[in-house]
Structure 1
Amino acid sequence: VNQLPAASKAANKQAAKRALVLAGHAAAVAVARRDVSDKQPDDDDCVIYRYGSFCTGIEVFEGIEKVEILQLDNNVMMTSGTSSNVLDITVTCQGSFPKEVCSVILDAECLKPLHTSCNMVEPSKECQMVLRHFFNNSGVYCINVSMANDVSLAATSAKV
């Protein structure tokens, strides 16, 4: 093999002149390259398949699966010569622990919100807590209790 530049240029020209002939029949495939800016309006539901491999980590978070009202305790409390109705609501949850608990007090038809309260909570082993609400008037009310964390929301309601 001759390594001289002039000889390699001549060999390249000689190789370029030789033609390769294939015999047989093959289907022709046309491939077109497009830029993103060339997108046609009818390409909105175009599916792109890409092949290859990748590696990633997946972290699964359990959500709050269920919120339950276990007990409703109604008491009358005297403060400064006036009486208030106090309702203690014992709620529990299953699944992960909530970060926030909200309660909404609605009218008897469960349509008009009368009071909304949301509080951040610390997780407990049993996921059980008591929510205390004060009422100026006795009557029938709807109560919605919801618990939420970063990945889920669960709610329940009761009529008292």
Structure 2
Amino acid sequence: MDKKYASIIAKLGFKHQLCIFHTKKSLNKQLKTFKDRNHISDEEYQECHKQLKMIKDLFDLNDYNEFKKEVHSLINSKDDFHPVIYKIIRKSIFPRYKSFIHHLKDKRIEKTSNKIENAFQKTMPKSRKRIFKTKRGVLKRIYRRDLIWNDNRKKDFENQQSF
């Protein structure tokens, strides 16, 4: 997710749960980009891929404290990882690890953003999405969606009464 959204989410007082599916996808992409740019051997790539899989498996843990402990141990295990994998840990996982595990503390929070993406119609044009990067824009969008939802419920109720 674009880092610009994180600040507005924090200003609104919400916990920002990063989508686990998209995170794993992003980690794979980072490794593939490294391979393409540095022309590493297939054996070296396979080793990196195994290490990355081990890290991605952490996202399937069901215990908040265990996840925290494992992430901290990753940071202290620099010598156990290929330099690119350690860089991914240091730059992509460790700084935002709490944003990956809010769903473990609060079961009402989704592990994936698919439902949220559908609610906010992710396929909107960029010009409309920019609105969500300000507190005023997000609140305005929520207010309008609420009005539309209420209007639709009112129409549903009226249609039920006509039978």
Q: Same fold (TM over 0.5)?
A: no
The two structures have a TM-score, normalised by structure 1, of 0.19
Select the structure with the greater relative contact order (CA < 8 A; seq sep ≥ 6): 2
The two structures have a TM-score, normalised by structure 2, of 0.18
| Structure possessing the higher radius of gyration over alpha carbons | 1
Which structure: greater strand fraction? 1
Which structure: greater helix fraction? 2
